[in-house]
Every structure is written in C-alpha cells, then in structure tokens.
Amino acid sequence: MRLTAIVALCIGLAGCVTPSPASRVDHVLDPRFWRAPPHCAVVLPAGVRGEVRTRAAERALARHLSGRVDAVIGPDRRDATLRRLGLDLGHPPDRRVFAAASGCRHGVELMLAGGRAFALIWAEARMDLEARMIDLEDGEVMWRARHRASRATGGLPTSPLGLLVSVGRAGTFAADADLVPSVLDDGLRALIATLPDTRRYTVSAR
C-alpha cells in the first residue's frame, strides 16, 4: 500500500510539473542601432533574483558580449572606474559622464530570475532572462531581448525499480553544482545571438 501511494504521488507530481519546451527569444532592434553601431558596451549593474549571484551573472554577460561587440567593460573594471570618478550608473547624468570618460557610449543591462526545483522524480532548472542595450548619452533603448532557458530530467516510472532510478536521476541532476551556471549560459547565448555582431563594422574605425 505504501509503495502504491508513493507511485500515485509521483504520477500526480509528474502530471503537474511536466516542463514545457523552451520559449523562443523575443527581441526588438531599434533602427537607430545601425546609425552608429556600438563599438563598446559596459555591463550595467544587473537585477538578479534566485540562485544566481549578481557578479557571476554580470561576468557571464560580459563574456558573451565580447563575441558581438569590439570592446566590453566588465563589472570589475566598471566598478573600479565608478569608484575613481565617484559615479552611480543608476543616475542618467552619471551615465553620460561615464560614457565620456570611458569612451564607451552603450550599456547592457540584464535582469534575471530563477533557479532549480526538485519533486522526487523530476528536477528542473529554469531561468527567465531579459536584457537591453541603452545609449548612455540619451537613455534610448537600442536593443531588447527576452528568453526563458531551462533544463529538466525525470519521467513517469513504470516499475518500482524505475521509481528508484527516476528518484536517483532527478536527485543527481538537481544537486549538480554546474547546473544553474550552465542554464544561465544557455539563456545568455540565446539572448546575445539576437544582438548584431558589430565588430566588423567598428574595428576599422578604432
């Protein structure tokens, strides 16, 4: 009876939490983007909720941006410059001063939320990400993208042995220390793929 109850519970959980396919990347590129393709982008302070550490998210964003923009100011160099100049990128006037001082007119801001979930025979890591590129001089949004990235494992067991295997597989999956960083990379890779690669347009001008 106890085993029957456990299997019934698993079936109920599986029916409630079956993961949906990853959504496509919604994005918008302002036509003004091409008037002066960005040669440099600073990673703006990120808004993070969930398991991911803010600094880790900002560094990952900088790494992915380096494949689309000729020069990237990551969070460590950004903060050092802000301390030296006494600026706060949360204030538009300070953003304009930063742009003039650094020669970096564009900033990319990341917002994300998510983490992992575990329900006996099923485990998932899910992350909702949104990013936008801002012209630091006038505050206009030049590019915006939104995406949900996820990975999951588990399934409906067909036997007591299958139940044990499913529980073990889901537990191992959920405990993987690389799971959340890997899903973050998946999400950022998909987001940044919608940002045009401007390196070939700007390298000759630098």
Q: Is residue 62 part of a domain?
A: yes
Total domains, the chain = 1
Strand partners, 109: 132
Residue 161, pLDDT > 60, answer no
Q: Is residue 104 part of a domain?
A: yes
Q: Which pLDDT belongs to residue 116? A: 66
In a domain, 57, yes or no: yes
57/184 Cα distance (integer angstroms): 8
User: Rounded CA gap, 41 and 8, in Å?
Assistant: 53
The pLDDT assigned to 169 comes to 56
- Does residue 2 form part of some domain? no
* Phi then psi dihedrals of residue 175, to 5 deg: -85, -5
Look at residue 11 and tell me if it is in a domain.
Answer: no
Give the domain range for residue 143: 22-205
The CATH number for 42's domain is 3.40.50.10610
Tokens of 137: 């001089």
Beta strands in 74-140 (DSSP E): 106-118, 122-135
Domain membership flag for residue 7 = no
The mean pLDDT value for 161-175 works out to 51
Query: C-alpha angle with apex 132: 126 to 135, nearest 5 degrees?
Result: 165
At 157, the pLDDT band (50, 70, 90 cuts) reads: low
50-108 confidence digits (pLDDT tens): 878 999 999 999 999 999 999 999 999 999 999 999 999 999 999 999 999 999 999 99
Is 8 inside a domain boundary?
Answer: no
- Has residue 1 got a pLDDT over 60? no
Q: What is the pTM of this model?
A: 0.76
The conformation of residue 45, written as its DSSP 8-state character, comes to P
Q: Does residue 1 lie in a domain region?
A: no
Mean pLDDT of 146-151: 84
For residue 110, the model assigns a pLDDT of 97
